[in-house]
Amino acid sequence: MEQSLAAGQELCDLRDVASKSADNAARLAGLFELFEHGLRGKISAETIARACRIAAWHLNEARRWLLQNTKDDDLEAARLLEDWLIRRCQQTGLSSVPKNYALQHGPGLLRSADKLNAALQLLENLSRAKLVLEKQVIILLNPTLLGDTT
């Protein structure tokens, strides 16, 4: 599971959902064992396997739902912005870009506030970036996208 959360892997766009999947599987296993056998103290490997299958199904459904409910143009705009943000951060050595700078100097397609905000919202939903208010609004890129695994 951890490997599939890495940048570029199949679950990287669902990091927030996927990171909770193991906890959800453990909770399900505990509930299954309780309902089937009462408070006997041990959860069988079979019960854990069943709970993991259910958690994996829910994770795949979350991924399917996200992709199905996001228009291709919106995804492309978010990818375009993410690529630009990564390049900009690599050029400056920082992990953030002022939002106004992105609006003025970012990809031409996203130089309207509405389009930029929509792409940023999608990147936030996917845990790829977030907006932070400092002296000004900045776009803080997820450090793993810049190769920082700490």
Q: Where a domain ends, among 24, 49, 68?
A: 68
pLDDT digits (tens, 9 = 90+) for 17-73: 777 888 999 999 999 999 998 888 789 999 999 999 999 898 888 877 776 766 678
Per-residue b or e along 79-115, where b marks 16 or more CB atoms closer than 10 Å to that residue's CB: ebbbebbbebbeeeeebbbebeebeeebbeebeeeeb
Compute the mean pLDDT over every residue in the chain, rounded to the nearest whole number: 86
Tell me which of 41, 68, 95 is where a domain ends: 68
What residues make up the domain containing 126? 72-146
Half-sphere exposure of 44 (CA within 13 A, CB side): 10
Entry pTM: 0.55
Looking at the fold, whether 76 and 42 belong to one and the same domain comes out as: no
**DSSP H helical ranges for 19-136:** 21-37, 45-68, 72-92, 99-105, 113-125
Each residue of 117-133: pLDDT tens digit? 999 999 998 889 999 99
Say whether both 34 and 83 belong to one domain: no
Pair (57, 78) in one structural domain: no
Please state the domain count of the chain.
2
63 & 51 share domain: yes
CATH of the domain at 128: 1.10.10
Among residues 68, 93, 120, the one where a domain terminates is 68
Q: Are 78 and 127 within one domain? A: yes
Q: Are residues 45 and 57 in the same domain?
A: yes
**Whether residues 90 and 139 fall in one domain:** yes
Q: Which of 2, 8, 4 is nearest to 82 (CA)?
A: 8
What whole-number distance in Å separates Cα of residue 41 and Cα of residue 69? 42
> Could you tell me which residues come within 8 angstroms of residue 50 by beta carbon, excluding any fewer than 6 positions away?
28, 29, 32
Give dist(CA 30, CA 24) in Å, integer: 10
Same-domain status, 41 and 106:
no
Same domain, 95 and 108: yes
Contact between 80 and 107 (Cβ < 8 Å) = yes
